[in-house]
Amino acid sequence: MIIACPACATRYVVPDSAIGAEGRTVRCAKCRHSWFQDGPALAPPEPAEAPVSPPAPRSAAEPMQEAVPAPSASDDPAPRVESDAQEPEENFAAPPVYDEPPPPTVVETAPAPQVSEPEVYGEEVSQFDYEPPFRPRRNMMKVWTIAAGAFAVLALGTVGAVSYWGLPDWVPISRPTFALEQPDLVMDFPKAQQERRTLPNGTEYFGASGTVKNVGRETRKVPSILIVLSDARDRIVYSWEIASPKPALAPGETVTINEAVTDIPKSARYVAIGWKPD
């Protein structure tokens, strides 16, 4: 049978069994309009043949008439002409989309509810709506970009913290024993003025004398001085800090420093003197 969409007049060719005798709700594949399509009209029943009554008995006085045979199709003088012309085929659209798959043989016992208003998509979710066969894959380039941005922020924060507070003590890296040379300050601790001896009570004694001079044209602050003792394997075994008697020196001014300690390790062999690091 041929059905047509009431909204856009698109026509479809569908089998009668798809609609059924009771009709069903269909939806146009072109404009998505839904309507209730009645089933195909049933052919009227053929009238029953009247019973043939038996022929009446013929009397003996009536003469017999020969039966005239009916003309056959071969005796028809006028030949039948068949037309080669064919009716033009109509361009039908694709079959309509049904709200549910048509039953192959079972006819619906009750008519489907008639849809009076067009179906509004987005408010209701139909189980027959199209769904993708799989979820879209993640964009790995985007994930790597976010990870790189987070790493860059973390690295910049770490560098800023180290530059402001310095490295923590638990970081296993080598640190300089002494600070860099101070501008305009000259430290002089000659070896001749460094003395080490054992006291009568067996205590180890070490004393050192030296000077710090400001050779610049500006007043300079004098940082603390560090004396380090190491053993024969160049391992530090003892160290102490010396504060300058004058915290600052004017241009050309010199300060003398004399310090001595006892109870130093007997394994100490070498001495090194420099500015204490910050």
Reported as a single tens digit per residue, the pLDDT across 138-147 is 788 888 999 9
What local confidence, expressed as pLDDT, does residue 115 receive?
45
Q: Let me know if residue 252 belongs to a domain.
A: yes
Q: Let me know if residue 169 belongs to a domain.
A: no
Q: Let me know if residue 69 belongs to a domain.
A: no
* pLDDT band at residue 254 using 50, 70 and 90 as cut-offs: very high
Do residues 122 and 20 both lie within one domain? yes
What local confidence, expressed as pLDDT, does residue 274 receive?
93
Q: 112 with 98: CB under 8 angstroms?
A: no
- Model-level pTM? 0.39
* pLDDT band at residue 1 using 50, 70 and 90 as cut-offs: confident
Whether the predicted pLDDT of 70 surpasses 60: no
Which percentage of the chain shows pLDDT scores above 90?
Answer: 30
Short-list 221, 197, 229, 226, CA closest to 210: 226
* pLDDT band at residue 81 using 50, 70 and 90 as cut-offs: very low
Do residues 26 and 131 both lie within one domain? yes
Reported as a single tens digit per residue, the pLDDT across 4-24 is 898 898 888 888 888 877 888
Do residues 208 and 112 both lie within one domain? no
Short-list 111, 129, 90, 65, CA closest to 10: 90
Q: Let me know if residue 29 belongs to a domain.
A: yes
Alpha carbons 73 and 232: distance in angstroms, whole number: 138
Query: Which residues span the domain enclosing 270?
Result: 185-275
Q: Provide mean pLDDT across the span 192-211.
A: 91
- The whole-chain average pLDDT of the chain stands at 75
Do residues 36 and 102 both lie within one domain? yes
Whether the predicted pLDDT of 190 surpasses 80: yes
Q: Let me know if residue 108 belongs to a domain.
A: yes
Whether the predicted pLDDT of 108 surpasses 70: no
Q: Which residues contact 84 (CB under 8 A, 6 or more apart)?
A: none
Q: How many domains does the chain have?
A: 2
Do residues 202 and 262 both lie within one domain? yes
Whether the predicted pLDDT of 58 surpasses 50: yes
- Residue 14 carries which side chain, given as an amino acid letter? V
State the CATH number of the domain containing residue 230.
2.60.40.10
Q: Let me know if residue 62 belongs to a domain.
A: no
Do residues 131 and 196 both lie within one domain? no
Q: 105 with 20: CB under 8 angstroms?
A: no
Q: 114 with 36: CB under 8 angstroms?
A: yes
